[in-house]
Chains A and B, each alone.
Chain A
Amino acid sequence: MLRTEDLCKVFHTARGKPVAAVKNATFSVSAGEIFGILGPNGAGKTTLLRMLGTIITPTSGHCWINGMRTDESPDQIRSEIGFLSGNTKLYGRLNPAELLRYFGRLYGMPNPLIAERTDALKDLLGMQEFMDRRCESLSTGQTQKVSIARVMMHDPKVLILDEPTLGLDILTSRTILEFILDAKKRGHSIVFSTHYMTEAQLLCDRIGLIHQGELLAVGTKQELYERTGTESIQEAFLTLIGRHGAGAA
Chain B
Amino acid sequence: MKPRIVYTILGKELLDTLRDKRTLLMMVGVPLLLYPALLILGLQAMLVQQSTLERSVSRVAVIANDPLLLEGWLRPSPKDVMKEVLRSPKPPMDAAMDAIRIEIVDTKDPDAELIAGHIDAVIAVRGDAQALLDQNASVPIDIRFDSTEFRSREAASRVREALSEARDRLQLQRLKREELPEAFLRPLEVHEKDIAPPVKRTGFLLGLLLPMLMILTIALGAFYPAVDLTAGEKERGTFETLLSTPASKLEIVAGKFLTVFLLAMATGLLNLISMAASFFFMMSQVSSAAPNKAFLDIQVPFQAFPIILAAIVPLAFFISAMMMSVAVFARSFKEAQNYLTPFFMIILVPAMIAGFPAVQLGPLTRFVPIANVILLFRGLMTGTLGAEAIFAVFLSTILYAALALLAAGWLFQREEVVLSEERGIPLTIRRSDIRPRDGLTPSWALAFFSVMIILLFYLGGLAQHWNALGGLLITEWGIILCPTLLLLWFVRIRFRPALLLQRPSWKFVAGALLMAGGGMLLTLQLSAWQNKVLPLPEGFEETFERLFSSSGTGLGFAVLFFVLAVSPAVCEEILFRGAILSGLRQRLNPWVCMAVVGVLFGLFHLSLYRVVPTGMIGVMLTYMALRSGSIFPSMAAHCLFNTVAILAASERLPRTLLEPLAHLDKEGLPWFLALGALLALGLGVALIEHTARRRQATAG
Contact = CB atoms under 8 A, between A and B. Distances in A.
B422 interface: yes
A55 B426 contact: no
Contacts of B52: none
Contact of A94 (B4, B8, B16): B16
B32 interface: no
A103 interface: yes
Contacts of A89: 236-238, 240-241
Contact of B8 (A57, A88, A91, A102): A102
A42 interface: no
Contacts of B4: 105, 108
Contact of A93 (B20, B237, B247, B248): B20
A78 interface: yes
Contacts of A88: 237-238, 240-241, 244
Contacts, number: 79
Interface in A66-116: 75-76, 78-79, 83-94, 98, 102-103, 105-108
Given A89-B236, A90-B238, A75 B248 contact: yes
B90 interface: no
A79 B245 CA distance: 7
A62 interface: no
A170 interface: no
Contacts of A16: 426
A150 B426 contact: no
B241 A150 contact: yes
Contacts of A94: 12, 15-16
Interface residues of A, number: 33
Interface centre among A75, A78, A83 (most CB of B within 10 A): A75
B253 to A, nearest CB: 14
A56 B415 contact: yes
Nearest to B20: A93
B78 interface: no
A249 interface: no
B246 A76 contact: yes
A93 B240 contact: no
Nearest to B19: A93
A121 to B, nearest CB: 16
A53 B241 CA distance: 11
A147 B426 CA distance: 32
Contacts of A246: none
B247 A106 contact: yes
Interface string B393-430: 00000000000000000000001100100111110000
A168 to B, nearest CB: 17
Contact of A14 (B8, B16, B419, B424): B424
Interface string A53-64: 101110000000
A112 to B, nearest CB: 16
B426 A90 contact: no
Contact of A79 (B9, B19, B246): B246
B451 interface: no
**How big is the B interface, by class?**
20 to 34
Contacts of A93: 15-16, 19-20
Contacts of A13: 422, 426
B5 interface: yes
Contacts of A75: 246-248
A78 B424 contact: no
A80 to B, nearest CB: 9
Interface string B4-41: 11001100100110011000000000000000000000
A75 B246 CA distance: 5
Nearest to A134: B19
A84 B243 CA distance: 11
A55 B12 contact: no
B238 A14 contact: no
A56 B8 contact: no
Contact of B244 (A83, A86, A108): A83
A103 B245 contact: yes
Interface in B414-449: 415-416, 419, 422-426
A78 B241 contact: no
Contacts of A83: 244
A83 B247 CA distance: 14
A106 B13 CA distance: 13
Nearest to A79: B246
Contact of B246 (A12, A86, A87, A108): A108
Contacts of A87: 237, 240-241
Nearest to B422: A14
Contacts of B425: 14
Contacts of A150: 241
Contact of B240 (A85, A91, A92): A85
Interface in A136-181: 150
Nearest to A85: B240
B419 A90 contact: no
Interface in B466-519: none
Contacts of A108: 4-5, 246
A151 B215 CA distance: 42
Nearest to A103: B245
A106 B246 contact: yes
A171 B241 CA distance: 25
Nearest to B18: A93
A108 to B, nearest CB: 7
Contact of B245 (A12, A78, A85, A86): A78
Given A78-B246, A102-B12, A91 B419 contact: no
Given A87-B240, A107-B246, 16 more contacts: A12-B426, A13-B422, A13-B426, A14-B424, A55-B243, A55-B244, A55-B415, A56-B415, A56-B419, A75-B246, A75-B248, A87-B241, A88-B241, A89-B238, A89-B240, A90-B238
Interface of A: 11-14, 16, 53, 55-57, 75-76, 78-79, 83-94, 98, 102-103, 105-108, 150
Q: Which 6 pairs across A and B sit closest by C-beta, in order of nearness? A: A89-B237, A79-B246, A83-B244, A88-B241, A93-B19, A87-B240
30 contacts: A12-B416, A13-B422, A14-B423, A14-B426, A55-B240, A56-B415, A75-B247, A76-B246, A78-B244, A78-B245, A84-B244, A86-B237, A87-B237, A87-B240, A88-B237, A88-B240, A89-B238, A89-B240, A90-B241, A91-B12, A91-B238, A92-B236, A93-B16, A93-B20, A94-B16, A105-B4, A106-B246, A107-B245, A108-B5, A150-B241
